[in-house]
Chain A
Amino acid sequence: MLKHLLSDDLPRSRFLTVLLVLILFGLAFAPFITSGARPLNTAATICVYIVLVASYDLLLGYTGIVSFAHTMFFGIGAYGIGLGLASAGPFWWIAFSGLLCALLLTILLALIVGLFALRVRAIFYAMITLAVASSFAVLASQLSDLTGGEDGKTFSVPALLSPSFHLFENEVFGRIIDGKVITYYLVFGVALMLFLFLLRVVNSPFGRVLQAIRENEFRAEALGYQTIYYRIAANCLAALVAALAGALMALWLRYVGPKTMLGFEVMTDILLIVVIGGMGTMYGAVVGAALFMLAQNYLKTLMLQASSALVGVPFLAEALHPDRWMLWLGVMFVVSVYCFPAGIVGKLRST
């Protein structure tokens, strides 16, 4: 059953299995084992990024396509649902219509970019996607009447997902099951399904052809595969999943804005997570997203505690000052890439 669910792609490492089980249980019970908004926000962001990074891994890790347009598709999904709800009211059918429009635009853009750009060499494709994504981000900022410009737009979600909605009168395991918790489980459930779907894709005959293309495109062609069609299909599939991840993010935040949804920082985060977790592993997206988001959200707090404890100690107290958290985050990534060149999952599977 479990083997079938994981498409025969088991973790193949005891430590990795433990790590994945811990992450799964942590995310599944996050509303009940944590309190306050910040941990739940971190858990929801991890869920969204697992899907976003896994979809990028389908492109980079499994097919060998370097694209910088992934945040554009993430943003289209987010803006589709966000602008729909902001302009027409908090109804489910509006949310679904907005999502549908976003998915249609996504597939259209992914097809156009793929058809015109995937025929060129890898570096040129990367440059073209960078240009298209940058143009889209600028467009989203400038169409302020529609998108809210640089400030973005906040919107209301359907009543069931609204924080004011309470499913039960009493607390369940110490937590009131309000619309925020329901939204969390919506995000968690959809993210889990999308991840298992991607795992199925990469372990299917289609996924094997993608891996063959990544290793040697000419050899794959000599076996009779029209590689351009496979590359375009992978591009469209990854874009659709990224758009769905964007829609989940928008639902969770009840906000869409260019920096959060279309910013280049999102793209660099995706790249870092793929590299840290391990390219071409899928599970790398889970481990990488969990570690990255925890570090991004809690490193500053940990450094504040460490710095307070080390008051009076020369150099160390200053070095660990919370203002320098970005520096230490960078150091951690450099060390992690140096120690795990094949990513954490690659390393765990090889030992």
Chain B
Amino acid sequence: MVQAQPPMSEPLLTLNAMHTHIGQFHILQGVDMVVPRGGVSALLGRNGAGKTTTLRTIMGLWPASQGSIRFDGKEIGKLTTPAIAQSGIAYVPESMAIFSALTVKENLYLAAREGEMDSVRLEWIFGFFPALKKFWNYPAGNLSGGQKQMVAIARAIVEPRKLLLIDEPTKGLAPAIVHNLIAAFRELKTTDTTILLVEQNFSFVSALADHVAVMDDGRIVHAGAMRDLAEDQKLQQRLLGLSLDSHQ
């Protein structure tokens, strides 16, 4: 259970005994997890542990075969993906999921379901992703990997959302861009948005996250405060097979 401090209110997201089957494979085998309101929660684990499947199941892209998903006090496990998105969850997949034939502007407009984009919020986004302003009318497919990731994240935050699900945002990015992302996420932490981050880059996660959960073989095997995991190298080695020193 991801509960660094006792929650002051009802958790934003609660996964209870969540199972997911993909074809004949039983990927998630009873995931129990709580994401408190506010701050950054991280979901760690080795490749194939089920982190991405967890995010996709929350979004309804792969339906849960068993268990419940409660978001903001409502059961969302049986809703369709668009209905889940409309309830206030934004999802940034790991593959720089932009619409490459559309311009940066059009990509962001797509996410602004209310119609027009809030210019103040847009300037706020440009503040930590200046490249987006520069390439505003360029096809997003022509941007570099880092810039595409910026478009994908900007699209998720162009309108206020209650929960951001972000899958490996630093994958394949240069260190300088990773630093920009850390700054952007720190800025986001000051807003009402809660972030659930799936990441392999431990130093990135430890710089941002307040709470952490570790997955293995489709189950949560550890949950607690990020600070506790970051300071306990033995625990890191046991859970993740790494030490913090090697990632700094």
Contact = CB atoms under 8 A, between A and B. Distances in A.
A205 interface: yes
Contacts of A205: 109, 115
A208 B155 CA distance: 14
Contact of B85 (A209, A211, A215, A224): A224
Most buried by B among A205, A219, A222, A227: A222
A224 B113 contact: yes
A226 interface: yes
A222 B99 contact: no
A211 to B, nearest CB: 6
B82 interface: yes
Interface string A182-222: 00000000000000000000000100110110111011111
B184 interface: no
Instruction: Indicate the size class of the contact surface on chain A.
Output: 10 to 19
Given A205-B109, A208-B109, A209-B110, A219 B82 contact: no
Contact of A222 (B91, B106, B109, B115): B91
A223 interface: yes
B55 to A, nearest CB: 10
Contacts of B115: 205
A208 B106 contact: yes
Given A216-B97, A280-B101, A221 B110 contact: no
B11 to A, nearest CB: 22
Nearest to B87: A224
A211 B101 contact: yes
Given A222-B81, A224-B86, A226-B82, A215 B61 contact: no
Interface string A215-256: 110111111111100000000000000000000000000000
Contacts of A220: 110
A215 B82 contact: no
Contacts of B111: 223
Interface in B54-84: 59, 61, 80-82
Most buried by B among A205, A211, A223: A223
Nearest to A62: B101
Nearest to B165: A222
B82 A225 contact: yes
B208 interface: no
Contact of B81 (A215, A221, A280): A221
A221 B63 CA distance: 14
B225 interface: no
Interface string A134-158: 0000000000000000000000000
B145 to A, nearest CB: 17
Nearest to A219: B97
B100 interface: yes
Contacts of A218: 61, 81
Contacts of B100: 215
16 contacts: A205-B115, A208-B102, A208-B109, A209-B110, A211-B101, A212-B110, A214-B101, A215-B99, A215-B101, A221-B81, A222-B59, A222-B61, A222-B91, A224-B82, A226-B80, A226-B82
